[in-house]
Structure 1
Amino acid sequence: MASSSSSSSRSRYSASRVPGAPVRSLIRYRQGPLDYEPYDPCECRPPKKAAMWISWSDENPGRRYRSCYYSRRGGCKYFVWHDDPIDDPFLKQLVLDLRDQVWLLERLNSNLHD
């Protein structure tokens, strides 16, 4: 259900793209706190349900983790991995190559719109 809402928001976003505005990636980086269970509170006061993020770093491609939204701003320090790392070097490289191709196509598309 969450993926259908994200795909529709992507199409609306691309149709109304403003030149010079930051490009939203087609690769999801965040799953909202209401999109998954069980409840996993962060360390903020009052505690909030931590959002699930997706790492696209070279070390942990596609690996999900839960972290407070405010941790990116230097606030809450809550962080916990949700998935195990990809152990198979072939699969890890495949995910990295696909990520790089998506990023390349996004840059090309942005350049064409500009």
Structure 2
Amino acid sequence: MENVDGYPDITEQTMCLCGGNAAMRTSWMENNPGRRFLECSFYRRPDACDYFKWVDPLVQPHYKSIINGLLRNANHKDALVKKLQRNLIYHRIVLAMVVMVVLVYCVL
């Protein structure tokens, strides 16, 4: 079994309590941004067990604030891009309607 990034007690085949391979995931919650953990691979299913184990150590407060700030900026940028895309679609629809009205007016 391969160790995961130098953690001798965490292997790629770490088993959860229900006998399946534990799934490695990354937390993006504000208290543990970027921190990896293992949990039951059947998470959110009725047959899942309660297996949970942190892989990475605690994130230092300074790094935590930097990571959270970067995540907020990325989320803000994504929201702006979506807003611009919606505005572009809206403007294209309005332009198409104006062109149709002009064409109808010119034909009559």
Q: TM-score range by the shorter chain?
A: 0.5 to 0.7
The answer (yes or no) to whether the contact 2:20–2:41 under 8 Å persists in 1 is no
What percent of counterpart residues are identical?
33
Determine which of 30, 34, 39 is the counterpart of 1:58: 30
Give the Cα–Cα distance (whole angstroms) in 2 for the partners of residues 68 and 39 of structure 1.
Answer: 12
**2:43 aligned partner:** 71
**2:12 aligned partner:** 38
Instruction: Please report how far the alpha carbon of residue 38 of structure 1 lies from its aligned counterpart in structure 2 after TM superposition.
Output: 2.8
Pair 1:73–1:101, CA change in 2 (3 A): farther
SS of the residue 2:50 aligns to: coil
Give the Cα–Cα distance (whole angstroms) in 2 for the partners of residues 76 and 54 of structure 1.
Answer: 19
After TM superposition, what 4+ stretches of structure 1 lie above 6 angstroms from structure 2? none
Max Rg structure: 2
Gaps spanning 5+ residues in structure 1: where? 1-36
SS of the residue 1:80 aligns to: strand
User: Aligned pair 1:86/2:59, yes or no?
Assistant: yes
Which structure ranks higher in relative contact order (CA pairs < 8 Å, sequence separation ≥ 6)? 1
The answer (yes or no) to whether the contact 2:35–2:56 under 8 Å persists in 1 is yes
RMSD of equivalent CA atoms: 2.1
The structure in which a higher percent of residues are strand is: 2
Determine which of 64, 84, 105 is the counterpart of 1:112: 84
Residue correspondences, number: 76
The structure in which a higher percent of residues are helix is: 2
Give the Cα–Cα distance (whole angstroms) in 1 for the partners of residues 45 and 82 of structure 2.
Answer: 28
Give the Cα–Cα distance (whole angstroms) in 2 for the partners of residues 39 and 86 of structure 1.
Answer: 25
Give the Cα–Cα distance (whole angstroms) in 2 for the partners of residues 105 and 59 of structure 1.
Answer: 22
Gaps spanning 5+ residues in structure 2: where? 1-10, 87-108
